Amino acid sequence: MFFSQEVSIPAHEYLIFYLPLPADNTTTGITQALLDNFKLLANFTSASYCPSNENSTVGSPVTCTGTICPLVEADVVTSVAEFGSENDTTVSDIKGYVALDPVRSLIVVAFAGSGNVRNWLADFTFEELPYADCNACSIHSGFATGWSERRSTVLAAVSTALLAHPDYSIVVTGHSLGAAVGTLAAVELRSLNHSVDVYTYGSPRVGNEAFADFVTSQSPTQGGNFRMTHVNDPVPQLPPTWVGYQHTSPEYWLSGGNATTEDYGAQDVVVCEGVGNEGCNAGTGLVPIDGEAHNHYLGLIDACSGPFSF
């Protein structure tokens, strides 16, 4: 797979800078190749917000206004299926697309984050539902609803794309609420015997500790898990751990800047290993809340929809 080579490299080989390994299993620095992957998938995620990628015909190019997704446009990425728009009638109104990248031989499933009140109602309903595919696992009910409303469209589009391009790799990406839904999409695609890398930005916690362990254990044999956070972004700190939620491991934390910093080097990424790790983003706390950090992931990731506000 295009991305799996990063996943399969032992940690001691791909870390650029080393710090003494403390109890919280935190290290500093990643390879430039992995940072480039994060930048590429951030471009794909940014494109999921853009109105130009709503309701277009199959085979049409994925485009963005201005210079929001230059890496996607340079590869002449084309649409397989799109979902969500101003006229959408679903409960959660999850927006995104499935597309083909012929340059990198990728099938990309991209989910946008929260764009309206219905999205945030889904985000802040903390009720958990059982997740049938693993013992004692439960997931956020709103995220489960979001995925269920897009499941048939996404699975059919991926199946169609694989029939035409069986040698392509599958990558799922998303921001915010779209990151949570993307995690569920990746896990289900893996259950169908596909190897799937998942790149998320500013993801809230998706399920309980058992679910976080389950997803974490799928890497690297079923695809890599690449969860990025940014300084004190408040969204990855929700839903709170005191109601039973935990994050998957590892976390890639953009650190050393402020809420609007977008230019980071590989040496600026801190890696926190372990489900429930209290370092990295979780260590910044929710007070004071700064929603600006949620918008800036190697660029203004939601530029097509306007800034997130808490």
Give mean pLDDT, residues 303-309. Answer: 69
Residues contacting residue 157 through CB under 8 Å, at least 6 positions apart: 80, 81, 98, 109
On whether residue 165 sits in a domain, the answer given is: yes
Range scoring the smallest mean pLDDT among 10-19, 46-55, 61-70, 127-136: 10-19
Cα angle 152-156-158, degrees, rounded to a multiple of 5: 120
Residues contacting residue 7 through CB under 8 Å, at least 6 positions apart: 197, 219, 220, 223, 224
Give per-residue pLDDT as tens, 241-251: 999 999 999 99
Cα dist. 48→75, 191, 221, 227 in Å?
16, 25, 28, 18
pLDDT bin (cut points 50, 70, 90) of residue 90 is confident
On whether residue 97 sits in a domain, the answer given is: yes
Strand ranges (E), the chain:
26-28, 78-83, 96-101, 106-111, 128-130, 138-140, 169-175, 196-201, 207-208, 225-230, 245-246, 251-254, 269-272
pLDDT bin (cut points 50, 70, 90) of residue 306 is low
| Paired strand residues for 250 | none
On whether residue 227 sits in a domain, the answer given is: yes
Give mean pLDDT, residues 38-52. Answer: 97
Asked whether the predicted pLDDT for residue 200 surpasses 60, the reply is yes
Tell me the three state secondary structure of residue 157. Answer: helix
Asked whether the predicted pLDDT for residue 35 surpasses 90, the reply is yes
Count structural domains, the chain. Answer: 1
Output 306 or 78, whichever has higher pLDDT: 78
On whether residue 48 sits in a domain, the answer given is: yes
From CA 201, how far away is CA 209, in angstroms rounded?
A: 20
Tokens representing residue 276 in the block = 């429930």
Range scoring the smallest mean pLDDT among 5-9, 31-35, 77-81, 239-243: 5-9
Give mean pLDDT, residues 218-231. Answer: 97
Output 123 or 293, whichever has higher pLDDT: 293
Total residues belonging to the chain: 310
Active site annotation includes 88? no
Active site annotation includes 233? yes
- Sheet with 26-28: strands ordered across: 26-28, 269-272, 251-254, 225-230, 196-201, 169-175, 106-111, 96-101, 78-83
Provide the CATH number for the domain around residue 192: 3.40.50.1820
From CA 82, how far away is CA 218, in angstroms rounded?
A: 28
pLDDT bin (cut points 50, 70, 90) of residue 18 is very low
- Choice among 48, 79, 169, 176 that is catalytic: 176
At residue 170, what is the residue type? I
Tokens representing residue 34 in the block = 């992995």
Any idea of the CA torsion for 76, 159, 6, 63, to the nearest 10 degrees? Answer: 20
- Choice among 233, 255, 268, 305 that is catalytic: 233
In the predicted model, what is the mean pLDDT of the chain? 88
CB neighbours (10 Å) of residue 152? 9
pLDDT of 2 reads 53
Enclosing domain of residue 174: 16-295
On whether residue 303 sits in a domain, the answer given is: no
pLDDT of 179 reads 97
From CA 48, how far away is CA 294, in angstroms rounded?
A: 16
Give per-residue pLDDT as tens, 130-160: 998 899 999 999 999 999 999 999 999 999 9
pLDDT of 162 reads 98
pLDDT of 24 reads 55
As a whole-number percent, the residues of the chain with pLDDT over 90 amount to: 74
Q: What is the pTM of this model?
A: 0.90
On whether residue 307 sits in a domain, the answer given is: no
pLDDT bin (cut points 50, 70, 90) of residue 67 is very high
| Paired strand residues for 199 | 173, 226
Give per-residue pLDDT as tens, 177-187: 999 999 999 99
Asked whether the predicted pLDDT for residue 199 surpasses 70, the reply is yes
On whether residue 126 sits in a domain, the answer given is: yes
At residue 102, what is the residue type? P
On whether residue 301 sits in a domain, the answer given is: no
